[in-house]
Structure 1
Amino acid sequence: MKKLILPIFALVLVLSSCTDELTNLNEDPKGASEVPGETLFTNAQVSLGTYLNSADVNLNIFKLISQYWASSTYTDESQFELTTRSIPSNLWSELYRDVLNDLESSAQLIEEDELLNTDVKQNQLAQIEILETLTYYELINIFGNIPYTEALNADNPQPVYDDAEMVYMSLMDSLDTAIGNLNPSADGFGEADIFYNGDVGQWVKFANSLKMRMGITIADSHPDVAQAAVEEASPNAFTSNADNAVIPFVSAPPHTNPIWEAEIQSNRDDFLPANTLVDHMNNLEDPRRPILFTEYQGEYKGGIYGLNNTYANFSHFGQMVLEPDFEGMILEYPEVEFIRAEAIARGWNVSGTVTTHYNNAIRADMEYWGVSDADITSYLTQPNVIYDPTGDYREQIGLQKWLALYLQGLQGWTEWRRLDAPTLNGVADPNVPITEDDIPTRFTYPVDEQNLNESNWEEASSAIGGDQLGTQLFWDVE
């Protein structure tokens, strides 16, 4: 179930401080020295966590792309039109300007703080490195080649794009260094850390879980590197839902659940559970349905993906996700258990069995949503849910993992691209001939980059095989 990392009043004070102090930070790099490093770290956590859980159609449409949600008002995004709202530009700015820039500035201030305890400084810099790794990981998985070695330099508005594969391997090395530098016996950011309230031991688990995610992502393209990463990280990664990395939201604006903001505060009815998701869950008689959805005329009925659906004629979101203080997920234990299951299915040296970790993952996700033990056990004994070692692990794990990643649209999209499971829908509109083969495998680069950084954009586009929605990333080889 939901948990709060900080007492609400402490959280509000921390975040309000960030908001007040950082209003014009990114417009005035010299002003960064006036802002404490820990405040910048908090602000980066808020920006990253809010972005990953955003329901803003101008910024984060991955719940649509991964077909967890359907539209009741606008169909452009579920028909893969990204440029009308400048979505690539908006998310590029969010991750580079509001997350990575603040992390970079935070690290600089902490490095220069001669009064800060050496062990505390080492922990703080390691935590910054972990969040930088996660952010660049997401940028690579969205675009492919990205600015990295020349990024975040205000004096260089035309940075080169680095090879995604090279950056990825560099990030994995940096993550290993950060893990090695974490010292649970020393303090970190304390209450400025809204993910774990200063618990450095939890950051060790978080970083190792991220290492597992990064490893399994490249399992098809770099199996040896992937295997080593997962095997090394698994013993020190998440072991229960209590370890989940989450951003806590509060019951009153401005730091509230983005889904509540989109659906309740705005008094709009723009989104519905997609038929893609609901149909898969109906086929499995999934006990999460009464928690995640309302019924329509005695059944669970998802909005038809890609169409402009009449809101009143379909199931809606369940109350739990519409609460203003419903937390946002960054990385969760069920995902880690699915990685362990897949690793064993691939023949890697991870303790346990595929079935045990597969069942653990499903059970943990259902427990998170509040499903009863009896209903979980009943679900796990269904013939079409029981893991079959003679079947295709990609299909079996892919479907259940995609279901468990509900609301985590970006990671759900990554897993679908990687495992080619489950089966997603084309667009049902006969006037829009879009099939599953047309679902984007990356986003196009921002138009601003095309206009203001043309030569480097052209070189990057050529290097990845074309700046197209259907260009496959380096790890997407199956």
Structure 2
Amino acid sequence: MKNTIIFSSFLALLLVGCTSDDVNLDPHVVYNASPEPLITYAQKELSDYMTTPSVNENNFRLTMQYWQETTYVSESNYNFTGRNVSNNVWGDHYVNVLNNLNKAKEFIEQYQPVPSELSTWPAKKKNQLAIIDILSVYTFQTLVDTFGDVPYSQALNNDLFPLPAYDDDAKIYQDLISRLKIDINNLERGKGTFGPGDIIYGGDIGKWQKFGNSLLLKLGIAISDVNPSLAQSSINTAITGGVITDESQSGLFGYLAATANFNPLFENLIVSGRDDFFAGKPFVNFLNTTSDPRVSKYFQDVDGEYIGQTIGVAGNFTDFSAPGIFAYTLTTPGNLITHTEVAFYLAEAAARFGIGGNPEILYQNAVQASFREWGLTHQETQNYLTAHPYNAGNWKKSIGEQAWVAMYNHPVVSWNFYRRLDYPVLQAPPTAIANADGKVPVRLQYPTLEATTNGTNYAKAAAAIGGDKLTTKVFWDIH
């Protein structure tokens, strides 16, 4: 399967989404009668968010101290309100992704098959709706993990709920798990699906089954500390159903070299004409101290050395290591769920619950997956594992620190590992804004637009979660 983007310039023009003041309605989107362009656009927007280093949208490379800003260091010091970051994250997910997926669902449900399709359409329809819902589950999980309580049951229905209420984050998770199990069961190979508009898998139902089960594993792992019974049942179901087990099955979005369809890393590092980012000192020091060969893939050297800047402090671009060549490459794919990520979940499931095998072996498998992902050799992997073996006495440290290294190009997911496992141990810079209370943020604050346009429901949600603060933990983050 070849991942390609089928945008023509005209189609791209039709599908440009603009953030609306209303999370349920994007008046700027022009829909046509085919669901595939909407699927393409929603997948691209989801991948763009997970991938971009834009300080207006995704600052988790800074939060996880992988990168540091060169000149304007507000976001490194956790000032996310100056650029209305939460407004953009909210719009990315509700408007650009979920609203387009919902519209695609409507088109599929309204479609009237011609006589020759009557026998095949029901199964094909189920496949298409299942894929759409899997992507919706992924998106809602990201919103909950970012904000806590969010609009869910009343979201995406502007006619009935122009000012949607916020649902309890724990209950949303339970519903997402139930939805996902149904979606996976509804997928049936050989019965038709989307065509090339499905950029992630090109309509390969077998791979969508693995994606769905891997997402179920991710949901189960997330609630391990707060709902261990549901966590274990979800993990067992996912593993039995079959999760991603090699790199060829990873859920990736394939970018093109064409303008507007290249990787957003390239857009922000090259097209912008700016040198806004270089290596963060805590991460580079960890890589150097552990003699990690991935450092040469993650960063460029400065006269043979890899050098990071103190978090929260500006500096000259030429004095510190720039991001690696992958970030300056137009077609580097975007990560949604990778084999490496899933391998770390499997290691954690074994360490926590004794599910799925020997945690030491699964830890080694996860590190090996990361090394392969970055093109390093088996011998380099073995040398590294010999020097950094699994520590059963503190498995959270072993898995947490290695996941931090491995999720370097998947920072939103890295932030989840960090909050759940409490490793690595990161320190907020002394220059961080007062609202951070001297801590690395564990949540984004709600958008200011919500406070002004949906104020009553916003106020209820803020009170329910314990305050709309960077330090308020989402429901599954209890340590």
SS at match of 1:448: helix
- Give the superposition deviation at 1:372: 1.8
CA contact (8 A) 2:15 2:30 kept: no
Provide the residue aligned with 1:13 in structure 2: 6
Matched residue, 2:126 = 122
* Counterpart residue number, 2:144: 140
Aligned match of 1:266: 272
Deviations, residues 250-308 of structure 1 (Å, cap 9, x unaligned) = 11211111111111121211011211211111121001111221112332111221111
* Match 2:289 to one of 283, 289, 301: 283
Deviation of the 1:13 alpha carbon: 2.9
- Stretch moving more, 370-379 or 158-167: 370-379
Which residue of structure 2 aligns with residue 455 of structure 1?
456
Residues 373-418 of structure 1 show CA distances to partners (whole Å, capped at 9, x for unaligned) of: 2211111111xx11122x2111110000111111211111111011
Q: State the alpha-carbon separation in 2 of the partners of residues 286 and 463 from structure 1.
A: 43
Return the offset for 1:360.
0.9
CA contact (8 A) 2:221 2:345 kept: yes
Q: Displacement, 1:72?
A: 0.4
Q: Could you tell me how far 1:35 is from its partner in structure 2?
A: 3.5
Match of 1:381, SS? helix
Alignment partner of 1:313 out of 280, 299, 319: 319
* C-alpha contact 1:248 1:327 (8 A) present in aligned 2: yes
What secondary structure, in the 3-state scheme, does the structure 1 residue paired with 2:150 have? coil
For residues 432-461 of structure 1, the C-alpha deviation after alignment (integer angstroms, 9 at most, x for no partner) is: 689995111111110011011111111000
Counterpart residue type for residue 370 of structure 1: G
Deviation at 1:320?
Answer: 2.4
For residue 191 of structure 1, give the secondary structure of its aligned residue in structure 2: coil
Secondary structure at 2:167 match in 1: coil
Aligned to 2:358: 353
> CA separation in 2, counterparts of 1:473 and 1:280?
28
Instruction: Choose the corresponding residue for 1:337, options 339, 343, 367.
Output: 343
**Distance across 2 between alignment mates of 1:395 and 1:16:** 48
CA contact (8 A) 2:26 2:95 kept: no
Q: Deviations over 1:46-90 (max 9, x none)?
A: 111111101111111111112111110211111111110000001
Structure 2 CA distance for aligned equivalents of residues 294 and 23 of structure 1: 34
Report how many residues are paired. Answer: 465
Contact 2:217–2:345 (CA under 8 A) maintained in structure 1: yes
Matches of 1:84 and 1:432 in 2, distance apart?
Answer: 12
TM-score normalised by length of structure 2:
0.93
| Distance across 1 between alignment mates of 2:435 and 2:444 | 17
TM-fit CA distance, 1:230:
0.9
1:123 and 1:206, CA in 2 relative to 1: closer, same or farther beyond 3 A? Answer: same
Please tell me the root mean square deviation across aligned C-alpha atoms, in Å.
1.9
Is the contact made by 1:221 and 1:477 (CA closer than 8 Å) also made in structure 2? yes
Corresponding residue of 1:410: 412
Confirm or deny: 8 A CA contact 2:262 2:331 kept in the other structure. yes
Contact 1:103 1:128 in 2 (8 A): yes
Report the residue type matching 1:60 in the other structure: N
Match for residue 99 of structure 1? 97
Is residue 45–residue 97 contact of structure 2 (8 Å, CA) maintained in 1? yes
> Contact 1:179 / 1:208 at 8 angstroms: preserved in 2?
yes
Which of 80, 83, 86 is 2:81 aligned to? 83
Q: Structure 2 unaligned runs (5+)?
A: 19-24
The 1:140/1:435 distance shift into structure 2, 3 A limit, reads closer
TM-score of the superposed pair, with normalisation by structure 1: 0.93
Match of 2:304 in 1: 298
Q: Does residue 381 in structure 1 map to residue 381 in structure 2?
A: no
2:443: which partner in 1?
442
1:138 maps to a residue whose letter is: T
